[in-house]
Amino acid sequence: MRTRIRGRWIVGYRNGHGIIPNGEVVYEGDKIVFVGRGYDGAEDKFIDAGDKLVCPGFVNLHATTNVDVQLFRIDGEEIGFAKPKSWVARWRDPDILDEASNDASARFSVACMIRGGATTFGAITTMAPKRWEDPIYEPRQIARAAGEMGGRAYVAHQVRAYTRCVDGFDSVEHLDEERAAAGLERAKVFAKEIDGTYDGRIRPYFFPYTLDASTPDLLKGMKAAANEFKTHMRTHFSQSWQEVQIIQRRYGLTPVKYLDSLGVLDRNTILTHALYIAGNGPYADPADSDLTLLAERGVTVCHDPWVYLRRGKTLNNFDRYRAAGINLGIGTDMFPQDFIAEMRGAALGSKFENQTTTSGSAAAVFDAATMGGANALGRDDLGRLAPGAKADIVVVDMTRLHIGPVADPIRALVHHASAADVDRVIVDGRSVVEDGRLTTADEAQLLRNAQAPYDTYKEIFSRWDRGRRPSTALFPYAVPMR
C-alpha cells in the first residue's frame, strides 16, 4: 500500500538533513519512495499532518528497557544498590524479578520508547539487582515486546566477569571468569535465536556490561562474536573516576588505550558515556589523544545527558567530541524515555561546558539523534527521510501552546517540545502510534503492571541497605507525607 503524508515541515535528506516547507513523504510497504513537493503519483492512503513536523524516526542508541532504578537516586545519595555477598554467592536462588514482573517491566519500557518517537533503540537493562548476567528470559522478553509492539530493536544478553558486592561494611569485587565465559556462550545462543526476527526488525548486539567489570578475554570474545554476527559491541565506558582508576591500576593504561591494545576499537564499537577521558578524568591528556584515537578507529560515543545531569555532571563536551571527528549518538538510559528531552540535555550541557550560546546547536544534536545513531548501527537506511530508506517516520505536533510560535522547526523541537508532543510514529511502514496513543498496546494496563516490579526493587534495595534503613528513610519523599 502506498501512503502519502503532507506536513508543514518535512525533514528531508540529501547529503544532510534539510527542511522542505509544505512538503510530502510517500512510502510503500516498508520503504520511502518520494520526499519533496508536488507528488503526482498513485496513492492508497493520505495522511494530512497539517501544521506538524514530519521527521525521520529517532534512533535511541542506549535505552533502558526496565523499570528504572535511577528513579531512586533523584536528589539523593547514590545508595541502596550494593548487593550482599551472601546473596551473590547463592547463585541458584531466584532472580529478584520473576518472569511475569520482568515481562511487565520490559513491555512498559519499550512502550514508552516507541510512544516518544524512538523507532529504533538499543536495549539495555540495569545490572544493579543481578549477579553476573541477565536472567535468560529477560532479553527474550525485550525482543518479544519490541517485536509485538512494532519497534525496531537491537538486543543483547548482558554479561560481566566482575560483580561488586558488600561483605558487612566492606565493598568487594568478585571475579568469576568461568561464569563470564558461559555467559558469552549464552549471548551467542540468544543472538542466533533472535537475529532477523519480526520481519528483520530485531537484531542482536554484544554487551560486556562495563569496562571495569570485564576481563580482556571477555572483551575480545564479545568483539569476535559481534563480528561473527555482523553487528556491534558496546560497553559502559569511562562512566566514573573509579572505573578509570581501576583500569589504570590493572593494566597500566588509560581506558581508550587499553581497549585499543585489545584490538576492539573500530566502527562497530559503541562506547556509552565516555565522560572521564580526554583530560576530564584522573590523568592529563593535553593533546586530546583519547579523542583523536577514537576518531581514527571510527568508534561511536553514545551520549546520555540526563542521567548525568541529574548528578550534576555532563560530557565535556558535545561539540569538542564532534569536532574531533567522533560519531555521536544519543540515548535515554533512564526514565522518562523522553528522547526529545535528551536532545535538549545534550544541547544545554554543551552550551554550559563551552560557556557559549553557539555550542550544542539544535542541528548537531538532531543529527546525533537520527543519522549519528544510524551510522553507529551501520544502517544507511535509518535516521533519514530519503527514497530507499526505511519508512520509519515521526510526526510531532508543533501547534501546542507550550511550543509557541515556530520560527525554526528543529530549534523548536529540541528546545520546546517533548515526547508528549509526538502525534504519530511509523515503523517499517506500520503506524504504531496514532493521535498520540499506542496502537499496539493498552497504555493504562502497561502502567498498572509496571508498579509491581518498581515496588519490588524498592523493597529489595531497602533490605540490602547496610544501614538497615526502612525504605521511607532510604528513599524519602521530596515533600513530607502528612
Q: How many CB atoms lie within 10 A of CB 414?
A: 26
Residue 452 lies in a domain: no
Average pLDDT score over residue span 433-460: 94
pLDDT recorded at residue 78:
57
The mean pLDDT value of the chain amounts to 94
Residues 121 and 238 occupy one common structural domain:
yes
Instruction: Return the biggest CA–CA distance within the chain.
Output: 73
- Strands, sheet with 162-167, edge to edge from the N-terminal-most edge strand: 83-84, 162-167, 170-175
Peptide bond into 316 cis (omega under 30): no
Helix, strand or coil, per DSSP, at residue 100: helix
> Residue 83's pLDDT band (boundaries 50, 70, 90)?
confident
Residues 306 and 432 occupy one common structural domain:
no
Residues 49 and 66 occupy one common structural domain:
no
Whether pLDDT at 160 is above 80: yes
Residues 171 and 291 occupy one common structural domain:
yes
Percent share of the chain, pLDDT over 70: 99
Helix ranges restricted to H, 119-215: 137-149, 177-194, 197-200
Residue 462 lies in a domain: no
Please provide residue 283's backbone torsions phi and psi, each rounded to the nearest 5 degrees: -155, 155
Average pLDDT score over residue span 356-374: 97
pLDDT recorded at residue 464:
85
Residues 326 and 353 occupy one common structural domain:
yes
Residue 43 amino acid letter: E
Please provide residue 467's backbone torsions phi and psi, each rounded to the nearest 5 degrees: -85, 0
Average pLDDT score over residue span 185-199: 98
Residues 396 and 426 occupy one common structural domain:
yes
Whether pLDDT at 80 is above 90: no
Average pLDDT score over residue span 145-171: 91
296-333 pLDDT, tens digit each: 999 999 999 999 998 899 999 999 999 999 999 999 99
CATH of residue 119's domain is: 3.20.20.140
> Residue 84's pLDDT band (boundaries 50, 70, 90)?
confident
pLDDT recorded at residue 276:
95
* CA separation for the pair 196, 155 (Å, rounded): 11
- Number of domains present in the structure of the chain: 2
N residues, the chain = 482
Strand partners, 204: 155
9-65 pLDDT, tens digit each: 999 999 999 999 999 999 999 999 999 999 999 999 999 999 999 999 999 999 999
Task: Give the domain range for residue 254.
Answer: 58-376
- Count how many Cα atoms sit within 13 Å of the Cα of residue 129 in the half-sphere of its side chain: 28
Whether pLDDT at 375 is above 90: yes
266 burial type by CB count under 10 A (0-12 exposed, 13-18 middle, 19+ buried): middle
Strand partners, 430: 427
Whether pLDDT at 91 is above 80: no
> Residue 169's pLDDT band (boundaries 50, 70, 90)?
low
Residues 404 and 258 occupy one common structural domain:
no
39: Cβ contacts below 8 Å, ≥ 6 apart: 4, 24, 26
- Min mean pLDDT across 20-24, 82-86, 253-257, 387-391 is at 82-86
CATH of residue 22's domain is: 2.30.40.10
Peptide bond into 480 cis (omega under 30): no
133-148 pLDDT, tens digit each: 999 999 999 999 999 9
